[in-house]
């Protein structure tokens, strides 16, 4: 019997057992299977079923950028086990395109290329991509965020550049937002009294983006640090939100999500004993934040003897087991040539899981949580 001859209910059951990451290849198997993937209700049922299976196995999915390539991993911090599900990038000429950053929001990934030539939103589940053209041009110093407008039910992309040009005196300042509905950029009137360092990446939660920011004062001054949120519905930056610590330059700080409703912040001093601390929010909104008591505190000097890279600091939290996974490189040798996931817990627990060789010594591993989604973007064309 041919695959196309199977009764619909049996064929649907067979297809529903295919992992989300393999759907793209399965679509070309036969025309009947392809119709399932075009059916929004089937995709949603499939994704919900796979989420339930992973929850039962106490697994979660993360997207990692290793050596400018993006892959999906299945993670279980209880054993621990980190398994590469597959390389996800399916952009044109993917083998020759280096991805420099990734940003996740509601099942979509915003991918920026290392040569600043492309800005692409991509759904790994459906393998659909949407290329975004600049209003004028992209800049190496650009910061990007992908978010969701709750009122108009649409995804948007924020691009901003706020950098002093010591040669020409005026500030390089551009704030603009892209709407898929209109396929156009709109200039925003923003005059910030804050700075976001280029190595601090934003985090999407509830469709809004949060950054670790500081006062706009010269280097060497006594900076005040805080969280800052961009609300994609109102298209505005919110007020300064308090942090449970006071960092200094070169201290390691990172943001991560815990489930779909909480934000976690990692803080580590750059000097011995390299104490690692993590807090999880009890409330997080564009205009307000409150923190639970300290989730984890570990002196890293006897465990690793160094502080994690302050330009990366991607991490993931397992609340039940009370452990954290931090992405970094192997520092046991003078040249860090291996990407490593460090799994850390109370009472000196440390487990190192190798993620493969790092051929690009200046490319530090980055990661973000990933939740499969059947969302499709209807991008307007002119």
**pLDDT tens column, 55-82:** 545 588 899 999 888 888 999 988 888 9
> Are 85 and 49 within one domain?
no
Q: What is the pLDDT of residue 55?
A: 52
155 has pLDDT over 60? yes
Mean pLDDT to the nearest integer, 194-215: 91
> Are 161 and 41 within one domain?
no
Side by side, the strands of the sheet bearing 119-123 are: 99-105, 108-113, 119-123, 128-131
Q: How far apart are the first and last CA of the chain?
A: 46
Structural domain boundaries enclosing 2: 1-56
> Are 44 and 71 within one domain?
no
In this structure, what token pair is assigned to residue 59?
Answer: 């697994």
Give the pLDDT band of residue 1 (cuts 50, 70, 90). very low
* End residue of a domain, out of 39, 56, 73: 56
Q: What is the pLDDT of residue 324?
A: 95
Distances (CA, A) of 249 to 60, 96, 110, 268: 33, 36, 28, 11
The pLDDT tens digits for 88-146 are: 655 654 456 788 889 999 889 999 888 887 898 888 777 788 889 998 888 888 999 99
Cα–Cα distance measured from residue 100 to residue 97, given in angstroms and rounded to the nearest whole number:
10
Q: What is the pLDDT of residue 33?
A: 53
Cβ contact 84:71 at 8 Å: yes
* End residue of a domain, out of 56, 75, 92: 56
> Are 8 and 108 within one domain?
no
Average predicted confidence (pLDDT) for the chain = 82
> Are 44 and 149 within one domain?
no
Q: What is the pLDDT of residue 228?
A: 96
Mean pLDDT to the nearest integer, 333-362: 87
376: in domain: no
Q: What is the pLDDT of residue 131?
A: 87
> Are 286 and 173 within one domain?
yes
In this structure, what token pair is assigned to residue 81?
Answer: 């086990």
* End residue of a domain, out of 38, 56, 74: 56
Tell which residue, 219, 222, 229, has the closest CA to residue 255.
229
179 has pLDDT over 60? yes
Mean pLDDT to the nearest integer, 338-356: 92
Mean pLDDT to the nearest integer, 272-282: 96
Q: Report whether the peptide linkage leading into residue 80 is cis, meaning its omega lies within 30 degrees of zero.
A: yes
Q: Greater confidence, 16 or 178?
A: 178
Cα–Cα distance measured from residue 111 to residue 131, given in angstroms and rounded to the nearest whole number:
10
> Are 155 and 92 within one domain?
yes
Strand, coil or helix: 189: coil
364 has pLDDT over 60? yes
> Are 166 and 187 within one domain?
yes
> Are 234 and 359 within one domain?
yes
277: in domain: yes
Q: Greater confidence, 33 or 234?
A: 234
Cβ contact 327:341 at 8 Å: yes
| Number of domains within the chain | 2
374: in domain: no
CATH number at residue 218: 2.120.10.30
299: in domain: yes
> Are 224 and 238 within one domain?
yes
221: in domain: yes
354 has pLDDT over 50? yes
Q: What is the dihedral of CA 202, 205, 209, 211, to 10 degrees?
A: -50
CATH number at residue 18: 1.20.1280
13: in domain: yes
Cβ-based burial of 344 (10 A; exposed 0-12, middle 13-18, buried ≥19): buried
381: in domain: no
Tell which residue, 148, 222, 134, 209, has the closest CA to residue 181.
148
> Are 264 and 217 within one domain?
yes
197: in domain: yes
Mean pLDDT to the nearest integer, 253-266: 93
> Are 276 and 305 within one domain?
yes
Cα–Cα distance measured from residue 73 to residue 208, given in angstroms and rounded to the nearest whole number:
24
256 has pLDDT over 90? yes
17 has pLDDT over 60? no
Q: What is the pLDDT of residue 2?
A: 47
Q: Report whether the peptide linkage leading into residue 273 is cis, meaning its omega lies within 30 degrees of zero.
A: yes
């Amino acid at each position: 019997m041919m695959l196309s001859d199977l009764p619909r209910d049996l064929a649907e059951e067979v297809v529903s057992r295919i992992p989300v990451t393999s759907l793209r290849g399965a679509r070309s198997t036969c025309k009947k299977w392809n119709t399932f993937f075009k059916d929004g209700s089937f995709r949603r049922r499939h994704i919900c079923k796979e989420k339930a299976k992973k929850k039962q196995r106490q697994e979660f999915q993360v997207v990692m950028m290793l050596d400018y390539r993006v892959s999906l991993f299945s993670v279980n911090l209880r054993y621990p086990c980190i398994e590469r599900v597959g390389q996800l990038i399916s952009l044109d000429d993917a083998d020759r395109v280096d991805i420099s950053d990734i940003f996740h929001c509601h099942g979509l990934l915003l991918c920026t290329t290392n040569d600043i030539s492309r800005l692409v939103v991509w759904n790994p589940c459906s393998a659909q991509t949407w290329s975004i053209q600049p209003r004028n041009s992209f800049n190496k110093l650009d910061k990007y965020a992908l978010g969701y407008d709750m009122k108009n039910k649409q995804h948007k992309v924020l691009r901003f550049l706020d950098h002093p040009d010591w040669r020409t005196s005026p500030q390089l300042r551009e704030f603009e937002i892209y709407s898929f509905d209109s396929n156009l950029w709109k200039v925003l009137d923003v005059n910030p009294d804050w700075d976001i360092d280029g190595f601090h990446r934003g985090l999407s939660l509830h469709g809004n983006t949060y950054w670790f920011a500081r006062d706009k004062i010269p280097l060497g001054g006594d900076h005040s640090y805080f969280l800052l949120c961009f609300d994609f519905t109102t298209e505005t930056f919110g007020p300064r939100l308090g942090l449970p610590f006071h960092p200094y330059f070169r201290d390691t700080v990172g943001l991560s999500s815990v489930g779909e409703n909480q934000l976690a912040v990692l803080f580590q001093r750059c000097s011995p004993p390299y104490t690692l601390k993590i807090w999880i929010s009890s409330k997080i909104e564009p205009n307000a934040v409150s923190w639970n008591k300290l989730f984890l505190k570990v002196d890293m000097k006897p465990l690793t003897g160094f502080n994690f890279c302050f330009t990366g600091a991607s991490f993931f939290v397992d609340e039940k087991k009370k452990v954290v996974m931090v992405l970094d490189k192997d520092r046991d040798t003078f040249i860090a040539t291996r990407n490593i996931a460090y799994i850390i817990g109370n009472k000196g627990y440390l487990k190192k899981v190798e993620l493969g060789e790092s051929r690009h010594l200046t490319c530090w591993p980055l990661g973000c949580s990933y939740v499969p989604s059947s969302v499709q973007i209807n991008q307007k064309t002119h």
